[in-house]
Structure 1
Amino acid sequence: MNRPKNVTQLSTETFDICIIGGGASGAGCALDAALRGYKVALIDRKDFASETSSRSTKLIHGGVRYLEQAFMKLDLGQLKQVRHGLEERRIVLKNAPHLAHPLALLTPVFSWFEGLYYGIGLKIYDWFANDSTLPKGKWLTKKEVLKRMPTLRKETLHSAVLYYDGQLDDARYCLALAQSASEKGVVVANYVEVTGFVKNEDSQLSSALVTDTLSDQSFAIQSRIFINCTGTFADTIRHMANPKLPVRMRPSKGVHVVLPFETLNSTDAMLIPKTSDGRVVFAIPFEGKLLVGTTDTEYKNPELEPILIEEEVDFLLETLRPYVKKLPERQDVQAGFGGLRPLLAADPTKSTKRLTRDHEVEHDDVSNLVSLLGGKWTTYRLMAKDTLDKVDELFGENKACLTADYPLAGSIGYEPEAWKLIKEQTALSEETCRQINGRYGSRYPEIITLITQNPDLAQRLVPAYPYLWAEVIYAVQHEMAVSPRDILARRLRLEITDWQATLQCLPVVCDLMEKELNWSSETREKMEKTYAEQLQVYCKSAGLL
């Protein structure tokens, strides 16, 4: 993933397909298109997975909430969404086992009737999945529950229903898709923004006018067809191509707070099935912390970054209150993040909580733009398949989709126990070795090589976390990271788990990047100052300052 070389290719070559948007759906489309033999470009105006695709609940699931709504309201659309999610869950887990794994979830209940109700629902969920790769759910006694999750409130707990879904590192999974696409010949570049289109005599798109926002260089990308995979920003690209198209997107904001792992003190997750706003909330172990979310509120201006605010912190903490012995205080919150769901505005009268997460492939006959609208992380591959099937149809082709059985970057030869080999070869802690194996999979030797060449790179960025100097160098050299936030928010996940630790290690990260990217002292100072100010805004908005 050589960015300067790729930008040159974008400006000088002609492509079959140019994909706009480097999130899960765009990277998924790029890999699918490359495997079908097309010449492909993939661009994003920011970094890969910098928006919705790095700010999910980190679950791979069919959606137990959608299943309940499907039966309660006889909604076949919700049922279809659950079925698609459960079918794709198995594939997401299989294709990148270093980045995705099964996760046990407990649903605490306060009465025999509640246990029966949720037990039957989750049995149906298991049956609907028809997936032998995950353990089956069961109804646990109070004693069994407290053994697995000792911090739950004993006085009111009756029992809990256990079931299984999947968990992933969303940003790194998206990066693995982009890497895999790149290795199949896709010309990939982040920080390339579309500013307009050029049309031929038939008013159809022939090239995209873009700006490399790092160099401020503008040029045109020529392509036979353009695919719009920009999520909540899809209407912007659609209206650039054809101003007469109706508005389709209705963004919804969801936020998470990050608490100490000891809040639940369990490797299991918890599903809270009832909240005051009529949805479910998850409490999920991730990167040694506990993510709690998500909310669902309509969001009018997607150009403004959705950030955590005090009222949302209080709502999520209050949602935990009936379940835990000791309710965390606001000062226990260590970080948080907000994201936008790319919901389709099929019915403007529905609240965003009632809109499905299904997707739609739209082809505009006037401009020839193809737009992938809606959807969710779990079904990214199916979304990409449907999109490329449409492109095949427009090209008069009929090519097979090969992504269901295509192992992603880092998964070929991956061994869960390879952390032991890393420990034998280095003086690193077990925690660090496990983390390296989980982040890079079978490509971990490249990190070890950097440390062997320069032992200083074995140092931790911050003492409390197992992130190494070497990983900063690797992210710049091999993962197209060009800013400290690319590294600390997405290549490593420190920004979403600990804001103060992120601020603490920011100078070191900037020093390492300055040398690797030949920054001027002014650029280095600006990078550190801008990001530090951003983090301070997040802390203040969440009521943590």
Structure 2
Amino acid sequence: MNRAAHLQRLKTETFDICIIGAGASGAGCAADAASRGLRVAVIESDDFGAGTSGTSTKLVHGGVRYLEQAVKTFDPKQLSLVRKALHERRTLLHIAPHLCHPLALLTPVGNLIEGAYYAIGLKIYDWLAGSRRMAPSQWLSKAEALRHFPAFDGTKLHSAVLYYDGQFDDIRLNLGLVQTAAKHGAAVANHVRVSSLLADEKGQINAVEALDTLTGDLFTIRAKVIVNATGTHADRLRQKANSQQGVRMRASKGAHVVLPGSALPQASAQTEPAALLVPKTKDGRVLFAIPWRGQWLIGTTDTEADPSDTPALLPDEAAYLLAEVNQFVSQPIPIEAVAGGFAGLRPLLQSDPNASSKAVVRDHEVEIDPKSGLVSIMGGKWTTYRLMAQETIDACCAKLGQNRPCVTEDLLLQGAEGYDTRYAHRLAERHSDSSPDILAHLANTYGTEAPSILTLLTEKPAWGARLARKHPFIQAEVIYAARTEMALTLPDVLMRRIRLGLIDWQATLEALPVSAQLLASELGWSVADSAQHEANFRAHIEGLIGKATGVAVEQV
């Protein structure tokens, strides 16, 4: 994706749809609309997946907690949400198999009655999934549970219930949706913010004035329909379009800690590894300890937040997450083991402003403002992003007077074409001179685009070096991100294209100097500009460390 070329298109073409926001819902709408043959523009004020969409628990799931609430409260909305999500779960594993895969999860059981309760509930979960079920849930003995999750404290464990959901790489999936939209003709750009909405003589919005935040360039994007896909910030744009609009959005904060893979004992190579689901926490949520990309990811919290907040992991949140997991493991995890972490805001669509954020149904709504014509997609969650996009673009097609059916249920995302479970093995056979962990990482991040990164090594073999000693990310990925993935800043590369800034803060600082040099060479930064970019990003990472630990960075 060449940003200059896409910006030129945004400035000169007239589009059917302009989508504001390129997180999960906006990128999903872009891929849906473009694959229907519509003329699409999509802009993002920060970077693709920089907000809520890049800070999930990395699960593609129906929601066992929502199922429990549906049964306990006889709530058909919760039950409907679970059904939708279980349908979409299987679709995601089909259209992005390099980024999404099944994950075994274990729920620890303290006694026979508790085990029966969980086992029955998960059988209902299986039943709701129907033909899209991954594998049947099982009630395991203590010995079987310990084989799947050796970290369990056997003295406290009666047994465990095993079930399956999906796991995915949220930020890379977000980018894959943007890339797929561009492949089908969409004009896309990150770091472009809407400064004002423009309307025709009838008051219907037909253009946006946009600001390139990297250059200060101001320009107009013209489109017949404008879609507001700004997540927790949706009210801001809704009220800019029509000052009479009420407040619809709430936000809750979810924080996560990341631990090295060695922080918890691993299952043997002969046994399927499993994640831990903590079914009871003091704040009423379920909580997960999940193996992810060679690390352990623990989350999430659920606390009220303002939609305008910039969330970060805090010391009390890290302590809470570890304390909940430590109840079930034989060797408690010390706070010093935390290597990284992140926090994000969930966009909650409110009906009752006095209800707890934990009680708000994670459903979505497509709203069309009759006064301005603005189409807003609000609420929802990652697992149902495709359904949200389909309903949004269906509404846009109705406004446009066009009948174009959705095709995204079978639309493979970039990197998925030709990918299967043996792809990483075949890549390793063809590139036996490269480290196996690097090749596995490339295959499971870029799918069938992985050879494009390896081809860069023929241009400069030194780009095959690791960015940080303990991780599989290589220098060529920085070059690839700048040339083809519209990465324009160090956070674009290290927080999102490569994700190192989420999982290991010290390793990110290790990778920073060479990453800055590589990005400077690709983007034409001066020596002074490069130094400033590096200093700014170092301060950002040190700030995350300081907020999470409560310790001044110079003491870390």
Q: What TM-score, normalized by structure 1, do the two folds share?
A: 0.98
CA–CA distance in structure 2, aligned partners of residues 324 and 544 of structure 1: 26
Residue pairs, 1:66-215, within 5 angstroms: 66-132=66-132, 134-215=134-215
Partners in 1 of 2:449 and 2:237 — Cα distance? Answer: 36
Residue 468 of structure 1, aligned match among 466, 471, 474: 474
Q: How far did 1:397 drift? A: 2.2
1:425 to 2:424 alignment: no
Partner in structure 2 of residue 315 of structure 1: 320
* Residue 260 of structure 2 corresponds to residue 255 of structure 1: no
Q: 1:19 touches 1:30 (CA, 8 Å); kept in 2?
A: yes
CA distance in 1: counterparts of 2:420 and 2:89, whole angstroms: 21
Structure-2 residue corresponding to 1:16: 16
Partner of 1:345: 350
The answer (yes or no) to whether the contact 1:18–1:223 under 8 Å persists in 2 is yes
CA contact (8 A) 1:330 1:544 kept: no
Q: CA RMSD in A?
A: 1.1
485, 493, 496: which one aligns with 2:491? 485
Partner-residue secondary structure (3-state), 1:206: strand
Matches of 1:427 and 1:211, distance apart in 2: 46
Q: Is the 8 A contact 1:180 1:408 kept in 2?
A: yes
User: What is the CA–CA distance in structure 1 between the aligned matches of 2:451 and 2:303, rounded to whole Å?
Assistant: 44
Aligned AA (2:58)? K
SS of the residue 1:131 aligns to:
helix
Matched with 2:373 is: 368
Distance 1:415 1:127 in 2: 27
What is the CA-CA distance between 1:413 and the residue it aligns to?
0.9
Structure 2's unaligned 5+ residue stretches are 267-272, 552-556
Between the aligned residues of both structures, percent identity stands at 48
Q: Which residue of 2 aligns with 1:220?
A: 220
Amino acid at match of 1:154: G
Give the CA deviation at 1:493. Answer: 1.6
Asked if structure 2 preserves the Cα contact closer than 8 Å seen for 1:331 and 1:544, the reply is no
In structure 2, what is the Cα distance between the partners aligned to 1:419 and 1:68? Answer: 38
Amino acid paired to 2:493: I
What is the one-letter code of the residue matched to 2:500?
A: L
Q: Say whether the 8 Å CA contact 2:126–2:133 is kept in structure 1.
A: no
Is 1:49–1:175's contact at 8 Å kept on the other side of the alignment? yes
The CA deviation string for residues 208-234 of structure 1, in whole angstroms up to 9 with x for no partner, is 011000111001111101001110011
The counterpart of 1:540, out of the listed 546, 549, 554, is 546
Aligned length: 544
Q: Shift in Å at residue 418 of structure 1?
A: 3.0
Q: Deviations over 1:390-415 (max 9, x none)?
A: 11111222221100011110011113
Alpha-carbon distance in structure 1 between the residues aligned to 2:419 and 2:82: 30
With 408-417 and 277-286 compared, the bigger mean Cα shift is at 408-417
Aligned partners of 2:103, 2:432: CA distance in 1, in Å? 30
Describe how 1:239-388 pairs up with structure 2 within 5 A. Answer: 239-266=239-266, 267-300=273-306, 302-388=307-393
> Per-residue deviation at 1:278?
0.6
Instruction: State the match for 1:453 in structure 2.
Output: 459
| Aligned residue identity for 1:369 | L
User: How far apart, in 2, do the equivalents of 1:454 and 1:425 lie?
Assistant: 16
Distance 1:428 1:22 in 2: 35
| SS across alignment from 1:223 | strand
CA distance in 2, matches of 1:206, 1:191: 21
Deviations 1:44-96 (A, max 9, x none): 00100110111000000010000000000011110111011001000011001
What is the rounded CA distance, in whole Å, between the counterparts of 2:34 and 2:274 in structure 1?
38
Residues 483-492 or 272-281, more deviating: 483-492
TM-score, normalised to structure 2's length?
Answer: 0.96
Deviation per CA, 1:273-328, whole angstroms, max 9, x where unpaired?
Answer: 1000011001111111111110111102x333100111111111111121011111
Which position in structure 1 is the counterpart of 2:414?
A: 409
**Aligned equivalents of 1:494 and 1:483: distance in 2?**
14
SS at match of 1:210: strand
Contact 1:17–1:224 under 8 Å retained in 2: yes
Contact residue 90 and residue 131 of structure 1 kept, 8 A: no
Is contact 2:90–2:132 with CA below 8 Å preserved after alignment? no
- More off after superposition, 481-490 vs 90-99: 481-490
Q: Give the match for residue 390 of structure 1.
A: 395
Measure the CA separation in 1 of the matches of 2:547 and 2:109.
34
- Specify the SS of the correspondent of 1:49: coil
| Distance apart, 1:147 and its partner CA | 1.0
State how far apart, in whole Å, the 2-side matches of 1:421 and 1:449 are: 16
SS of aligned partner of 2:282:
coil
| Structure 2 equivalent of residue 33 of structure 1 | 33
Letter in 2 for 1:314: A
- SS of 2:450's equivalent? helix
Contact 1:363-1:370 within 8 A present in 2 as well: yes
The answer to whether residue 523 in structure 2 is matched with residue 517 in structure 1 is yes
Q: Is the 8 A contact 2:78 2:361 kept in 1?
A: yes
Distance 2:477 2:443 in 1: 12
Report how far residue 133 of structure 1 moved: 5.6
- Partner of 1:356, secondary structure, is coil
Q: Is the 1:375–1:383 Cα contact (8 Å) retained in structure 2?
A: yes
Which residue does 1:44 correspond to in 2? 44
Instruction: Confirm or deny: 8 A CA contact 1:415 1:442 kept in the other structure.
Output: no
> 1:41 offset after TM fit, Å?
0.2
Contact 1:252 1:343 in 2 (8 A): yes
**Aligned in 2, Cα 1:48/1:351: closer, same or farther, shift over 3 Å?**
same
Secondary structure of residue in 2 paired with 1:326:
coil
> 2: CA distance between counterparts of 1:304 and 1:351?
18
Tell me if the contact between 2:97 and 2:420 (Cα under 8 Å) persists in the aligned partners. no
